[in-house]
């Protein structure tokens, strides 16, 4: 059975996975991690609780460690999930691999987010509405983004974020990796995949 050791991950990531008691990748992680490391675009579907966050956060944390030009943008439907995703990244990266990051969610003061954005964050996690608000205020641009994740895209569409998602995707550099994760695969998501992947 394949384990994390066979995936070509950085030793720092492997050490942190061991500390977190991550021993065997879940099926979604086993499928996705090698493809993300290769730079492939992905549309992945798996039920909630099957390790989808690890499926993108582990290999993207690997990119952030090994490529100083890697900049990651992650869109999440709700702020609670955005907080969890950012926390997962910090766990996978560990204390020795500090990556400047920003958490851009509604209900939090803009002033603190402006400060985070001034630190040239290489990891940006947020909700579509607040991310768009920063773009409109010109406190955020996507010039350096190399990887974008649309997490729980089915929920984002259910919550009516399709216009914000379209606006964000249109502003990204042409050369970037796109990862889409969803619990379900309705026709609307398949159509988005044809446009963005």
State pLDDT tens for residues 68-84.
999 999 999 999 999 99
What is the pLDDT confidence band of residue 2, given thresholds at 50, 70 and 90? low
State pLDDT tens for residues 154-187.
999 999 999 999 999 999 999 999 999 998 887 8
- Put the strands of the sheet holding 101-104 in their side by side order: 42-45, 177-182, 147-150, 72-75, 123-126, 101-104
């Amino acid at each position: 059975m394949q384990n994390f050791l066979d995936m070509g991950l950085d030793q720092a990531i492997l050490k942190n996975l061991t500390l977190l008691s991550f021993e065997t990748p879940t099926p979604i992680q086993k499928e996705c991690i090698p493809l993300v490391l290769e730079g492939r675009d992905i549309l992945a579907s798996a039920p909630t609780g099957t390790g989808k966050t690890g499926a993108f956060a582990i290999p993207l944390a690997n990119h952030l460690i090994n490529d100083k030009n890697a900049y990651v943008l992650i869109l999440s439907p709700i702020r609670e999930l955005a907080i969890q995703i950012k926390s997962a990244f910090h766990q996978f990266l560990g204390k020795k691999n500090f990556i400047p990051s920003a958490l851009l969610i509604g209900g939090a003061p803009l002033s603190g987010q402006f400060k985070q954005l001034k630190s040239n964050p290489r990891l940006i996690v947020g909700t579509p509405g607040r991310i768009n608000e920063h773009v409109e205020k010109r406190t955020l641009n996507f010039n350096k983004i190399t990887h974008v994740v649309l997490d729980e895209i089915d929920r984002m569409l259910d919550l009516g974020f399709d216009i914000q998602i379209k606006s964000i995707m249109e502003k990204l550099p042409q050369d970037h990796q796109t990862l889409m994760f969803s619990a379900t695969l309705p026709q609307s998501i398949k159509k988005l995949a044809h446009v963005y992947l």
